Amino acid sequence: MAAADLLFKPASDLAGLLKARKLSPVELTRALLDRIESVNPAVNAFLTVTRERALAEARVAEQEIVRGKYRGPLHGIPYAPKDLLATRGVRTTNGSRLTADWIPDYESAVTARLNQAGAIMAGKLNLLEFAIGSGQRGLQGPARNPWDHSYSPSGSSSGSGAAIAAGMVPLTVGTDSGGSIRGPAKSCGVVGLKPTYERVSRQGVTSLSWTLDHVGPMARTVADCAAMLQVMTVGGPDYSKALTGKVKGLRMGVPAEYFFDKVHPETETALRRAIELLKGLGVVLVDVKFKNAALCSAASSVILSAESATYHLERLRKSPELFDPLVRERLEAGTFHSAIDYIKALRVRTVLMEEARRIFQTCDVLMLPAGNAAPKLEEETVETDVPRDPPAAPRPDVFNMANVTGIPAIVLPCGFTAGPPVLPLGIQFCARHFDEATLFRIGHAYQMATDWHRRTP
Amino acid sequence: MVVEGQNVDAARNVSAAHGVALSDERLRVLRAVLARRPAQLQMLRSFVVDDSVEPTHGCR
């Protein structure tokens, strides 16, 4: 099989070829490593490429499969984690000069499970510094959007989105404390899942905000995300059973206000088209109102700011100059929060979670925008270390609700801008706590009825 | 939170209490960041929460 034919295939297709021995893990891994070597100078999705290690693991996988020891749907499939996940013996930078040379002597729980399932780590992915930095800077410069290199892939899991869209690897791992998986998924035209809080272990993942951090899969298809989550977790349901393509009778709540307030007309058109398509598949629309939606952003802002400043306090005391100026500024600002504000935010979180529970008594899934198309990289530039006015715009608040309430949320492509440039647009679904299966059910049905996820830059 | 340099000495003392020494120059840099927070903070502070509501750290 020609190498070019492998680059944009979903992992599920590749798994079928590997299991049937029509494709060798070595052939696949070599094709993807060559692709990384070819396009990474422009896309900058990878901070570290573990070529020799990956080829060695591919040879082991090849021997195992030939001997009939097939481990499952990730066996022999290359993947890459955001460089916020500790990897034993492999540099883990967190995208920061402060940890640029850190080589952990332990493995994160997630990468350990993926490795155990036979997935092959191809390297470590670019990100915004400590998952809070600027889109313009970074340890080795910013990752770029494969659809147009002058545009941002969004962050903070910037490399995780860009690597899939550029055909470098079919599977990646990201983290999401306020949209950091879902934003890049939207901007790069791939699928990103933020699971329920604590559904996936955070062990071995550098913290940004302990109570908002989530680790999740990113891939070309919903089915691939389901296969990844199956491996990344312990004791979950069989997610493959949700991939039926049937959604008749599923109740989908669409909030009439707030979340759609800042949606670009082009995005809104794509979302309305998706709603009509889902209605045609049998989904039942339900009007819902999240009356305290605006508080999600306020509460998560205080929580993230206070927790991240606490986590990095020693580094702020000892080596503030080693942080990117924007990261330093955000963390220093976090030291000004009072305990009373922080605890109030945690109590408001209780109220917001109760409101989410009430909403999910009337619907099975909530549909939200995933923000507008990717911004130009230069628009993300923030001049720091100088007094400035007006301040930088706050993050889009279509994402914070799922972080502050802990409910699962998935983003998948639902169209493109008319262009130029032609850039992906995304749709977001949320569900009850620990009901990722419903997200897979509706997302897979949507992808079976559309071809947005099959388009490539 | 001490707001946007209305009281620079107080702001400096808050940061010093955490062992983070912020010079007047750093406080001027932070002014814009702190300036955009009062609106969100005010929304949070003015939201009335029933006495029975306890803080939640995760999703349970």
Q: Is A2 helix (H, G, I), strand (E, B) or coil?
A: coil
> What global pTM score does this model have?
0.95
**Overall residue count recorded for chain A in this entry:** 457
CB A77 within 8 A of CB A170: yes
Q: Is A383 exposed, middle or buried (0-12, 13-18, 19+ CB in 10 A)?
A: exposed
Question: How big is chain A by its Cα radius of gyration, in Å?
Answer: 21
Cβ contacts from A onto B, under 8 A: 110
ipTM: 0.85
pLDDT of residue B5: 45
CB contact under 8 A, A341 and B2: no
pLDDT of residue A413: 98
Show the CA angle centred on residue A395, arms to residues A298 and A222, nearest 5°.
Answer: 110
Interface of B with A (CB under 8 A): 1-2, 11, 14-15, 18-20, 22, 26, 28-37, 40-41, 43-45, 47, 49, 53-59
Q: Which residues of B touch A346 (CB under 8 A)?
A: 55-57
Q: Which of A315, A357, A345, A349 is nearest to A332 (CA)?
A: A315
- H or E element, residue A411: strand A409-416
Q: Is A404 exposed, middle or buried (0-12, 13-18, 19+ CB in 10 A)?
A: buried
**Of A134 and A366, which is predicted with more confidence?**
A366
Q: Does the pLDDT of residue A390 top 60, yes or no?
A: no
A368 forms beta bridges with: A428
CB contact under 8 A, A298 and B26: no
Q: Which of B15, B47, B49, B8 is nearest to A329 (CA)?
A: B15
The domain ranges of chain B are 8-43
Interface test with B, best of A342, A348, A357, A435 (most B CBs within 10 A): A348
Q: Is A397 exposed, middle or buried (0-12, 13-18, 19+ CB in 10 A)?
A: buried
- Whether A351 has its CB under 8 Å from any CB of chain B: the answer is yes
- For the annotated catalytic residues of A, the residue numbers are 82, 156, 180
Q: What would the pLDDT profile of A174-208 be if each residue is shown by its tens digit?
A: 999 999 999 999 999 999 999 999 999 999 999 99
Phi first, then psi: give them for residue A257, nearest 5 degrees: -140, 180
- Whether A385 has its CB under 8 Å from any CB of chain B: the answer is yes
Domains and their CATH numbers in chain A: 3-296+334-454 (3.90.1300.10)
Residue in B20, B44, B54 closest to A302 by CB = B44
pLDDT of residue A392: 47
Q: Which of residues 139-178 of A touch B (CB under 8 A)?
A: none
Q: What would the pLDDT profile of B1-60 be if each residue is shown by its tens digit?
A: 544 444 566 777 777 777 777 787 777 777 767 776 777 888 999 999 999 999 997 665
